[in-house]
Amino acid sequence: MKLYETLAADIASQIAQGVIREGEKIPSVRQTSQHHNLSVSTVIRAFLLLESQGVIESRPQSGYFVRRKPAVQATSGGSDDGPMAPADMARGETLDTSAFVLTTLRSINQGSVPLGSPYPDPATFPWARLNQYANGLARRAGQMGMTADLPPGNPELIRQIARRHLENGLAVDAGEIIVTTGATEALNLCLQAVAPPGSAIAVESPTYYALLQAIERMRMHAVEIETDPVTGINLEALERAIVEQGVVACMVMPNFQNPLGFQMSDERKRAMVEMLARHQVPVIENDVYHELYYGDVHPSSLKNYDTHGLVLHCNSFSKTLSPANRIGWALPGRYKTQVEKLKFLNTLNTPALPQLAIAEYLKNDGYDYHLRKLRKAYAQNASIMAAAVRRFFPAGTGVTTPVGGYVLWVNLPHGVRALELYARAQERGISVGAGNIFATGDAFQHCIRLNYSYPWNAEVEAAVRTLGLLAGELVVQYNCTPRKEANL
């Protein structure tokens, strides 16, 4: 290629990657000449070539700008030239769960009705107050030492976390708390601390897909244990897996499990901790929905019954206070030293300002009042969403009865494929959580998860009605068999 052709190709590549966007001005002829050590005439020839190709356009007295492309009607087919659409991924022969989830989240950011989102409605959080604290702290940031955000974390935030646990009936040693970048990091660090690559890790089935991804990423393998949508994980099956399949650790969500929404009873939690202690098997407890209970009394945690340091409790403020700040923590029991070391080796620290802003909010503002409003709204939305599914979906559809959190598990008539429903919904601007991503096999390919944290309005109701119509079409198309149960 000639010099001007090479330059034109480089500029076109930058535009294609979005480095320079439609409507933006590109560097001037003189700037480009200086930056690339090319003659002005060579740069002009490159610009003229790009202009003839329709990539850029000249504006008198202003320079060259990236030409805006006319809107193109989206097609249903995939393309080798860019990322595949969510609907196309759902219809593919194999499903890459990580890519599928990421693409779905991007579609939500682009305006899809977020029934498939794993995150709560961001409008429910006290952003203004937290930002006010963060801004005030930022002005004093020079007074902080360089090690203010090193593990285990900010002392004042740790004190507030310990106090919060105490108010909820769990007296913890503040020295055990390690602040992390969200609960996901806490879960990953704890898993890395308790088991080497190749280990068998027991999980509920279905389970939150991020746990399956963590197990896969660390080259371990998941042993999926039958889980009841009301009582929780089957403890007898779990003990058999420990004895017969060499399970060395567990990852569970005993409170308002995602996606089923159940709460294990205190008796079953105690029995689980005692059984695991007999086998000396650690359990990683994902308790991020702990504060989102609908009843009058907050639930207990597995940590309440731990006398051997085998419960590694993981939590965060992302589901209740501020998902953007990404502040979580771990109570790793006897594994505290390993987790703290891994935190330092993996990410060094957790940013200090978000820690301090949340600590200030917990000290000075009405966190309990904020939580009461969330619980009331979510409980109402849970009832409305379940009633809407029963009304709009075909006969034989079952729904869970969540007692906390903000997700509803829907069991479609036998033969309806969740991925096909997902694909058709995506084409209509609606996202859902396909059941396939909550297990390693196809046991839940007829299930979907719906997020009801957003205010119930005409748009959400229309989306649920559309989902029901689409599910009905699939029942007819594939001659699906209705299920006998109306609820799970």
pLDDT single digits (tens) 452-482: 999 999 999 999 999 999 999 999 887 765 5
The residue assigned the tokens 């030492």 is 145
Ordered by where they begin, the domains of the chain are 3-66 (1.10.10.10), 86-123+370-477 (3.90.1150.10), 145-365 (3.40.640.10)
Tell me the whole-structure pTM to 2 decimals: 0.82
What integer best gives the mean pLDDT of the chain? 90
Find the range with the poorest average confidence among 81-85, 93-97, 220-224, 478-482.
81-85
Share of the chain above pLDDT 70, in %: 93
Per residue in 107-135, pLDDT tens? 887 788 999 999 999 999 998 899 898 88
Q: Is the pLDDT confidence value at 180 over 70?
A: yes
412 pLDDT higher than 90: yes
Higher pLDDT, 386 or 98: 386
Banded pLDDT at 73 (limits 50, 70, 90):
very low
pLDDT, tens digit, 9 for 90 and up, residues 187-214:
999 999 999 999 999 999 999 999 999 9
**Residue range 42-69: mean pLDDT, rounded:** 87
pLDDT one-digit tens code per residue, 346-368 = 888 898 899 999 999 999 988 99
Label residue 371 by pLDDT band (50, 70, 90): very high
User: What percent of the chain is predicted at pLDDT more than 90?
Assistant: 69
In the predicted model, what is the mean pLDDT of residues 133-143?
76
- Band (pLDDT 50/70/90 cuts) for residue 389 is very high
Copy the structure tokens of residue 272: 């689980």
